[in-house]
Structure 1
């Protein structure tokens, strides 16, 4: 199964590019439902990356609903009817298509934040805090930081209590993940870390106090800032 993959260039968002190669082969039928993915060691050798990168790539595939992981056994491809929504690879879109996709993210994420404030559980708050703490402590923001950022948004989608938010937001977030990397490469590390954590912290605080309006406003501010940092001109209302 490891034949046919290519090594990943160091200037790419490694987990996302590896996940994209697997997703392409799964959708082509080269890797079939029920097939077990190679071990982390084998994949790290194939792609020339660390096992941490491989784990994050598999986590992305799991979030997209393409694989499931079984403790102590490995990762397996899921039957097609059980899969989540998947969009085209964001790294291959032109600027107009990417802007449109990011625009779609705006109403979904804002509404999700408000609903999460109303319906979140104590366990989901603990999960949000863990994701925020991981963002704060990440050394490599192009791997650990991006994964924690996307996980933060996925937990908010889960906290809405509406599984369609989880499916759509996970699909969109996975495709725009490389833009987060671009933003972090464009400005100073300390600056982007402080901005990102401050914005996510405001969202977390509003959800904790179950203030739906404040949560929506905090998410809107974050999305505006995030879009600006990657050079996108989006339309915001309200």
Structure 2
């Protein structure tokens, strides 16, 4: 089930990135009267950006149905592993499994964008970015060019905000006990931020390789 979960999260990320990339596609907003407008986009003409979001919602809902149907028979408990914290969800309640499906994708999306932000910050000084850097900047926007002190604090602020906002929902679902102090939530957020930073161990060697290639290998001029 863990492999299936990973594959479905990857499929969800592809749908999300397709929706985001659709917004940046100049061919989807050009008129045929122009030279660029006569070019054909990579996606079919009938495809709309909102269809990717609908597909993502359907995917997350269908995944919840699958886990709800198979969780008890195969004795599998949905769990969100966040290094220092493991959230276990009941597999016999559909709303609990649906919450796991949504939060599992949200966790993957948060980690992915954190990686993009780090990569964008490492290549922020590039005047003529390579295609990979240009793609990263399209998704993270101007955030990667914010001052370094802000970038260092940003992951902790985002994690603290999300954890504090989601805590009542997790308590309602029976995943977490209620805490009586905001300070406890902030301490937990600090640990979760550290866990987020530790995910860089999976991609940091690749980031360094891309940085070396972009810095010392001439890939030609980009339009």
TM-score (norm 2): 0.29
Please tell me whether Structure 1 or Structure 2 has the larger radius of gyration of its CA atoms. 2
Greater length-normalized contact order (CA 8 Å, ≥ 6 residues apart):
1
